[in-house]
Amino acid sequence: MAFSTLTFLILFLPTVILSYFAVGLIGRLISHTSLGNKDSLVNPLLPLQNIVMLIASLIFYAWGEPVHVLLLISASLLAWMGGIGMRWAMKNQRKRLELTFMSVTIALLIASLLVFKYLGFLTENLNSIPCFHLPAVDIKLPIGISFYTFQILSYIIDLHRDRIDVQRNPLRFMLYVSLFPQLIAGPIVRYQTIETELSTRRFNADDIKEGTYRFISGLAKKVLIADNVARLSDAIYKVYAESGMYNPTAYDSVGTTALWLASFAYTMQIFFDFSGYSDMAIGLGRIFGFHFPENFNYPYVSHSLSEFWRRWHISLSSWFRDYVYFPLGGSRCSKSRRTFNILFVWMLTGLWHGAAWNFVFWGLLNGIILMIEKIIFDHTGKKNFSRFWGWLYTFVVVDVCWVLFRHDNFYELKRALSRMFNWHSTDWTRLFAENSDVLLTLGFLPLAFFLCFPIFEKFMSKKGIGMELTRALLAFLLLLLCFMYIISSSFHPFIYFRF
C-alpha cells in the first residue's frame, strides 16, 4: 500500500487514526476520572494503542505482500530473541556467548537479505562464466527489506555497544520494526531514537498539527512535483530507448539538450519522490507521537559532493558511517586503508540500492569523486573555491551520477552518456510529436528547481495568526489538488520501494 493512493488516504489512514485516538481518549478519561490523575495527558491504555499501531502496520505491509509479512515477523522475533540472549550473556559476564548471540543474529539477518535481494544477481553473473551452469533464480523482492533489516541490525549492534537497553516486550519490539509510516521506504530509524516513545508517548496537539502539515507537503511533493517531472523524464528516455532499432527518426530528434533535460527532470524526480515519502513518514510519525529523524536537508544547495551526502538520505549515510566506515578504521589509518574503506563503503551503498552493476558503478563513482575532492581540498583549502562554482560542479556531478542510477541497461546508459557529452541537435517539434508529455510537463521543472532551495520554507516558518491561517489554507488547497491528481492520473510507485 502506498501513501499516495486513495485506498490509503480515504480508507486505511482515517480508520487507523480514529481507532488509535479513540483508544487514547478512553485511556485519558480513565486516567483523569477513575484514577484521579490530574494530568489528563497520561494514558494508561498506551499498550493497547501500540497494539492498534502494530496491527495496522502488519495490515499495511501485508496489503500487497501477504506472504512476505511472515518474513518481517520472523526477522523481528529473531532479533528480539537474539537481543534477549545478548543481554542475559552480558549480565552474566559471558562475553563469548554474547558475541555468539550477536553473530548468529546478524548472520541470519544478512543471509535473508542476500537470498531475497542478491541471490538472483549473483546466480546470473556466475552463469556468465563458462564453467557455471546454475539454475536461474527468480525471487520476488520483499518491499522495504533493506530498510527494516538495517533498522534491526542497528538495534543489535547498539545493544552490543551498550548504547541502548534491551527491549523485553516482543510486541513493542515488533512495533519498532514494523511501524507503517517508515516501514517500506525509510527513514532508517534507530531504536534509541524512539526507545522512550514506545512506552511513554503523550498526546500533543502541536505534533498532530505539524505532522499533518508535514504529511500534506510530502504528499504534494510526490503527487504534484515528482510524478509530473517523471512524465517528462520518462517520455524523453522512452523515445530515446525505442529509437534506432524501431524508430530511427526519433533517435535523431533526441539530442544533447533533450537528454540533459531528461537527466535534470530525473534529478528533480528522485529528490521530490524520496524526500516526499520521508516528509510523509515523519509527519505520520508525529501524528501518532513518534519523532523520526530528518532524512533530507536541501541536498541540492550543496557546494561539494561530501556536503551533498551529509544532506541526502541522512539516515542511510549515517548508518554506513557508524556501522561500517568507522569500524573499518574510518580515516584514522593509512592512505591505502582509507582508500579501501571509502570504496568498500560506497560499493556497499550502491549494492544496498539494488542488485545491479549500474548501482555498483554509481556507488564507486561517488566514492572516487569524494576521494578526489578530499585530496584537492586538503591541498588547496575549500575556502579558495567560489560558492557558485562549487554548487554548479556539485549539481552537475550529482545529475550525471543519477543517469547511472536510473539506467540498468548498459547499452542505453552508454548511448545516453555519449550523446550528453557529444553535441547533437534536438528536433523539438518531432520530439513533442512523439510524446506530448514532454511539452505538457515542462512547466513543472522551474517550480521543482525553486523548491529545492529553502526560500519558501523560511517564508512559511514566520510566526503570527495570519501566517497560521495561510499555512492552513495552503495545506487544504494542496490536499485538494493532490486528490484531483490522484483521481485523474495513473499511479506512480515510489522509486525507493524497490530497495
Q: Which pLDDT belongs to residue 409?
A: 82
66, burial (CB in 10 Å: exposed 0-12, middle 13-18, buried 19+): exposed
Closest CA to 283 of 221, 198, 362: 221
Q: Please give the pLDDT value at position 246.
A: 45
Q: Are 272 and 222 in contact (CB under 8 A)?
A: yes
- Length of the chain, in residues: 499
Contacts of 486 (CB under 8 A, 6+ apart): 4, 5, 6, 9, 223
- Report the pLDDT value the prediction gives residue 392, as an integer from 0 to 100: 94
Q: How far apart are CA 194 and CA 215, in angstroms?
A: 19
pLDDT for 245: 46
pTM for the complete prediction? 0.91
CA 45 to chain centroid, in Å, comes to 32
92: which DSSP letter? T
Q: Which amino acid would we find at residue 212? A: T
pLDDT for the residue numbered 244: 52
Instruction: Locate 438 and state its grid cell.
Output: 514532454
Q: What is the pLDDT along the chain (499 residues), one digit of tens a residue?
A: 788 889 999 999 999 999 999 988 887 777 666 555 554 455 678 889 999 999 999 999 998 778 899 999 999 999 999 999 999 999 988 999 999 999 999 999 999 999 999 998 888 888 888 887 888 888 888 888 999 999 999 999 999 999 999 999 999 999 999 999 998 887 999 999 999 999 888 878 899 999 999 999 999 999 999 999 998 888 888 877 766 544 555 556 788 899 999 999 999 999 999 999 999 999 999 999 999 999 999 999 999 999 999 999 999 999 999 999 999 988 888 888 888 999 999 999 999 998 899 999 999 999 999 999 888 877 776 666 778 889 999 999 999 999 999 988 888 888 889 889 988 888 888 778 777 777 778 889 999 999 999 988 887 777 888 888 988 999 999 999 999 988 887 666 667 666 5
Q: CA 141 to CA 157: how far, in whole Å? A: 25
Give the alpha-carbon dihedral of 81, 84, 85, 90, to 10 degrees: 160
- Which residues pair with residue 247 across a beta bridge? 243
H-assigned helices in 33-135? 46-62, 68-91, 95-113, 119-127
Q: Is residue 133 annotated as a catalytic residue, yes or no?
A: no
**Cβ atoms < 10 Å from Cβ of 379:** 7
For residues 433 and 293, give the distance between their C-alpha atoms in angstroms, rounded to a whole number. 45
| CB 315 within 8 Å of CB 295 | yes
Q: Can you name the residues that pair with 243 across neighbouring β-strands?
A: 247
335 backbone dihedrals φ, ψ, rounded to 5°: -65, -40
- Tell me if 431 sits within 8 A of 253, measured CB to CB: yes
Among the listed residues 191, 271, 308, the one whose alpha carbon sits nearest the alpha carbon of residue 450: 271
| Catalytic site residue from 160, 313, 353, 407 | 353
| Cell, residue 180 | 507503517
Domains of the chain, residue spans: 65-201, 208-303+385-498
Residue 384 pLDDT: 63
> Residue 330 has what pLDDT?
84
Whole-number pLDDT of residue 32? 65
Alpha helix stretches (DSSP H) within 114-181: 119-127, 145-160, 170-178
Residue 426 is predicted with a pLDDT of: 83
